[in-house]
Structure 1
Amino acid sequence: MNKKTLYFGHLLILLAGGLFPLGFSPFNIWPVLIVATAVGFTLSRTESVKTATLRGLLFGIGIFGTGTSWVYVSIHNFGAASVPLAALLTALFVLTLASLLVMPLFYLYAKLRDRLTIQAPWQQALLFAALWTIFEWVRSWLLTGFPWLLQGYSLLDTPIQSWAPVVGVFGLSLLMATTSALITATLVSDRTRRNPAFIALSITLLFWVASVPLGKKQWTQPIGEISFSAVQGNIPQLLKWDPGYVQETINTYYGLSEQEWDQELIIWPENAIPLFYSQARSVLNQLDKKAAENNSALILGMPIDERSESQISMPNVKYYNGIIAKGLGEGRYYKQILVPFGEYVPMESALRGLISFFDLPMSAFSPGSNDQEKLRIPNAVITAYICYEVVYPDFAARQARDSGLLITISNDTWFGKSIGPEQHFQMSRMRSLETGRYMIRATNDGISALIDDKGQVLETIERFKPGVLRGTAEVMKGNTPFMLFGSWPVLILSLLMIVLAGICARRTVNS
């Protein structure tokens, strides 16, 4: 291969990665993912380990460079970093993701392909698709996890989404990646190898066809309904933690809620009250009384200091990003999965105070325990997620067990008018589909919405304006297969695909 062809391949795979996010919200051009993945597979299929690894890095830079560009907004607009510094930090963020989450996939693919002597394109396709899915799953836990831009999300609002309650988003990703790679394998195979490739592709396409009757299956059943109001305050991020603006923030939520107390449930978003629990006792007592008098439950987000209970004398106080239920509501919830830099600072002793971005308000939280009681209101047991937690498929599915309704509160104001909040909302919708439960989403400036058990948006209100989302949510019972088994069946199938590719390759060599 001459240098011109080599460099053209590098450029093409970078471009394919850059187009990858077009498959997700707000663009939703899902066939782009099939093409982009096919290009990624084609340009690494028979390359050396060194070339495949480099192209994996370039593919990852393309994916995250365009798909997570919203990080720049947080660093520059709200982290007080200059344009050059924000651009540098964003570039480092993208390079880190590409190096840790995509480049090793291409390296391992080339290594296993050579070690197992996998030469048939259809066998290479199975290996690549299986590794792609495994590495997507790795994204969900490595270094606290970053399960963003998973291929399966693109299949929302298509008939194929009916597989989500069975195999989750990783199962949809496996289907997408396998289809892309096998289409490529069928096209590049010679006569002797085309039939096996076509047979493998046909079997894969049967899963696409089976999604139509599967879509009629009802995994969970409604057992009641509740009326609710989700309040969207639209508090400017630059003023949210300003001590001089606290009363204005509280007044905003009071005012928007004034006509909503006849609802069974009222929800205020993440950190709606910008005071620690110990500082807001009088406000909370008033809210508790108001909700109880009207036979309503109020669920709101706020930072909670542990000393507010029985540990006032302790010198070391822990802080939590929390949810509290008042009125007819019972319980509280401490966020378990924290956002690096936003809610805690990794290597804090070295980074804290270095630049303003590493000293953002509320960046010293502790994670809550994994055995917390669920929130309760008279007619429902509620699973609550705070912001980032809803992007973790297996975590969200486990949390949803033994509850009838999902609530997620968030503050996506950090990302302005970028594509970040749209992607976040799409992931929330997938959680409703995977668990067969309605979800009420209450955010500071949007997207506040009611999502049904099929992941469809029933109600929403305009973004970047204060308002109230009113509706009726069904309370569900029952568990989907994904809630019971999580991603393990998909991971096992991916490993079996690797084993199958290796066995078939060995038989070919021996024959």
Structure 2
Amino acid sequence: MHAPRSKQALAWLTSPGWPGQVIALLAGALSTLSFTPFGLWPLGLLSVALLYLGLQQLSPRQAVWRGWAWGLGLFASGASWVYVSIHVHGHAHPLLAGLLTAGFVAGLGLVYALMAWLWARWLRPRLMGWLSLCAFSALWVAQELFRGWFLTGFPWLYHGYAHTDTWLAGWAPVGSVWLLSLFSVFTACLLTRAWSWRQQPMQLGLGAVLLTVIWLGGLGLTQVQWTQPHGEPLSVALIQADVPQSQKWDPDYIDNSLARYRDMSYAVAGVDLIVWSETAVPVLQSRAEPFVQSVADNLRAEGSQLITGIPADEYRDGRLHIYNAITVAGVEGQTYNKHKLVPFGEFVPLEDWLRGLIAFFDLPMSSFSRGSIDQPPLLAAGQRLAPYICYEVVYPHFAARLAADSDLLITISNDSWFGRSLGPLQHLQMARMRALESGRWMLRGTNNGVTALIEPSGKIAQQIPQFEQASLVGDVQPYQGLTPWLRWRTWPLAAGISGILLLSLMHRRRQT
């Protein structure tokens, strides 16, 4: 009785029509369960396998809808936290916030629609053999690379993040999260062939060998120390002030917020570094300088150096430029201006048209200028720190450039925009991956969580619970040396997937 039902489900999955679209939608949502805080990574494999099987018999036009349904399921379940920032903090009506969120996730789903169309139109071999497995995996990574670049990029929910804590994590210092995506998608696709190859021991055996090499190889690589300790450990204190977003930019509360950061810092004075969160000082740097300098001087007298987020301002080209910045307080020339800005949060696309339409397009400090791409690391406590402000830490290639010239990584953020949603926890998982890729400690200071010290292995050494006012005090060890990922970046991976896709394209053209 079960066999006919299984055949019917498979027929729905592989055929055009609404049953297949519903399965794809649910499969996309399954992928979200593979990421933190759920960590059910086998569901990520199942999710990809269902999409791979579902695209095998569809025409290019049918594949577009199937891919879009899968992408819609992924982003509706995994990225709809933007509703919180639009409705709660952007003061948009719930209906309008819902429509904007729906448009956001539907638009992101188009990336998977494009991937599915390319697969069905140009790349899919007639037989689901080895070339099919490799080409689909390569196309998946190409899609992630594209998604991290197009229209400033949205490098969220990359498939490889599901394996931050699995054996595949050992490959991260070799080829970043994208290599984990490649191997995970390949695993999912290969497992779909296990039943078909049960009468082909050579094929089945080769598949088992490859999976063993990929997964046990990753486990073995976790024992490799790609970078080396350098100098003495540093004592650090990360200040999580838990300032409500509704009060952060309110002039009536600014003095209270600054006093909270100051007093919490004085309580832990004596550590080497004290870190405040993104825009912890919600006043232009030129106006806040007396306060910041005073606190920095007092902390320096106790042997501590202060690093804080602050809006940096300068007049250039006849106009005022304001940057979302992180600065080593009281040290001239040690300020980093954020380069990767968040659309609508830090700048408004089509500003002349959208400003004033709704409150969401007029958020506080949503007119930041973009910092230069070639800024050096910060120098503090005798160490080089690679700085990332909020969203910047989710860009693998961008983060690698600064990490290669650093001894420690530091990221500051204000994730209170996203409330108690999945967003801040996913953000933390991506920060963990950057530490793992670079083989360096990461200091992650936030306003209301998750504040953490992350080891070079990507493991969390210490953290503070969300939505608590607290200081995290601990030690970090500077590291030097380059992982293969920091040395070679995307070039080997890009060359490999380009070669596979070109081979698949040529094979498809010969078949037609």
TM-score (norm 2): 0.93
Question: Does 2:137 match 1:134?
Answer: no
Within a 5 Å distance, the mapping from 1:326-475 to structure 2 comes to 326-327=329-330, 331-475=334-478
Residues 94-148 of structure 1 show CA distances to partners (whole Å, capped at 9, x for unaligned) of 111111x21100000001136xx53344332222111011101111111101011
Question: Does 2:153 match 1:153?
Answer: no
Q: 2:238 aligns with which of 230, 243, 249?
A: 230
Give the AA of the match of 1:102: Y
Question: Does 2:489 match 1:482?
Answer: no
Q: Taking structure 1 as reference, are residues 122 and 475 closer, same or farther at Cα in structure 2, changes over 3 Å only?
A: same
Partner of 2:226: 219
Shift of 1:481: 0.5
Give the AA of the match of 1:477: Q
SS in 2 for 1:470: strand
Shift of 1:280: 0.8
> Any conservation in 2 of the 1:122–1:186 contact (CA below 8 Å)?
no
Partner of 1:108: 118
Q: Matched residues in 2 for 1:172 and 1:92: separation?
A: 29
Within a 5 Å distance, the mapping from 1:120-199 to structure 2 comes to 120-188=128-196, 195-196=202-203, 199=206
Q: 1:26 aligns with which of 17, 28, 37?
A: 37
Partner of 1:498: 501
Count residues in correspondence: 500
Shift of 1:295: 2.5
Q: Matched residues in 1 for 2:328 and 2:15: separation?
A: 63
Stretch moving more, 134-143 or 484-493: 484-493
RMSD: 2.1
Partner of 2:3: none
Q: Matched residues in 2 for 1:250 and 1:225: separation?
A: 29
Shift of 1:51: 1.2
Q: Taking structure 1 as reference, are residues 460 and 414 closer, same or farther at Cα in structure 2, changes over 3 Å only?
A: same
Shift of 1:503: 6.1
SS in 2 for 1:187: coil
Residues 48-100 of structure 1 show CA distances to partners (whole Å, capped at 9, x for unaligned) of 1111111001011000010101011110000000110000000000111111x
Percent identical residues: 40
SS in 2 for 1:406: strand
Residues 367-392 of structure 1 show CA distances to partners (whole Å, capped at 9, x for unaligned) of 10022232112331111100000000
SS in 1 for 2:319: coil
Partner of 1:304: 312
Question: Does 2:96 match 1:80?
Answer: no
> Any conservation in 1 of the 2:86–2:92 contact (CA below 8 Å)?
yes
Q: 2:103 aligns with which of 84, 88, 92?
A: 92
Shift of 1:25: 0.6
> Any conservation in 1 of the 2:123–2:501 contact (CA below 8 Å)?
no
Q: Matched residues in 2 for 1:338 and 1:505: separation?
A: 40
Q: Taking structure 1 as reference, are residues 22 and 466 closer, same or farther at Cα in structure 2, changes over 3 Å only?
A: same
Question: Does 2:221 match 1:210?
Answer: no
Give the AA of the match of 2:52: F
Q: Matched residues in 1 for 2:228 and 2:70: separation?
A: 43
Give the AA of the match of 2:158: L
Q: Structure 1 stretches of 5 or more lacking a match? A: none
Residues 142-163 of structure 1 show CA distances to partners (whole Å, capped at 9, x for unaligned) of 1101011111111111222011
> Any conservation in 1 of the 2:197–2:203 contact (CA below 8 Å)?
no
Question: Does 2:20 match 1:9?
Answer: yes
Within a 5 Å distance, the mapping from 1:243-282 to structure 2 comes to 243-282=251-290
Shift of 1:505: 6.5
Q: Matched residues in 2 for 1:241 and 1:505: separation?
A: 57
Give the AA of the match of 1:446: G
> Any conservation in 2 of the 1:304–1:319 contact (CA below 8 Å)?
yes
SS in 1 for 2:195: helix
> Any conservation in 1 of the 2:15–2:57 contact (CA below 8 Å)?
no
Q: Matched residues in 2 for 1:196 and 1:498: separation?
A: 22
Shift of 1:200: 4.6
Q: Taking structure 1 as reference, are residues 4 and 173 closer, same or farther at Cα in structure 2, changes over 3 Å only?
A: closer
Q: Matched residues in 2 for 1:4 and 1:452: separation?
A: 47
Shift of 1:204: 4.1
> Any conservation in 2 of the 1:219–1:480 contact (CA below 8 Å)?
yes
> Any conservation in 2 of the 1:451–1:457 contact (CA below 8 Å)?
yes
Q: Taking structure 1 as reference, are residues 197 and 359 closer, same or farther at Cα in structure 2, changes over 3 Å only?
A: farther
SS in 2 for 1:471: strand
SS in 2 for 1:261: coil
> Any conservation in 2 of the 1:226–1:379 contact (CA below 8 Å)?
no
> Any conservation in 1 of the 2:377–2:385 contact (CA below 8 Å)?
yes
Q: Taking structure 1 as reference, are residues 122 and 197 closer, same or farther at Cα in structure 2, changes over 3 Å only?
A: farther
Q: Taking structure 1 as reference, are residues 4 and 294 closer, same or farther at Cα in structure 2, changes over 3 Å only?
A: closer
Give the AA of the match of 2:116: F
Q: Matched residues in 1 for 2:151 and 2:434: separation?
A: 22
Residues 227-282 of structure 1 show CA distances to partners (whole Å, capped at 9, x for unaligned) of 01000010000110001111001011011111222011000000001100121121
Q: Matched residues in 2 for 1:141 and 1:260: separation?
A: 41
SS in 1 for 2:367: coil
Stretch moving more, 78-87 or 250-259: 250-259
> Any conservation in 1 of the 2:67–2:116 contact (CA below 8 Å)?
yes
SS in 1 for 2:155: coil
Q: 2:291 aligns with which of 279, 283, 295?
A: 283
> Any conservation in 1 of the 2:386–2:410 contact (CA below 8 Å)?
yes
Give the AA of the match of 1:74: S
Stretch moving more, 291-300 or 239-248: 291-300
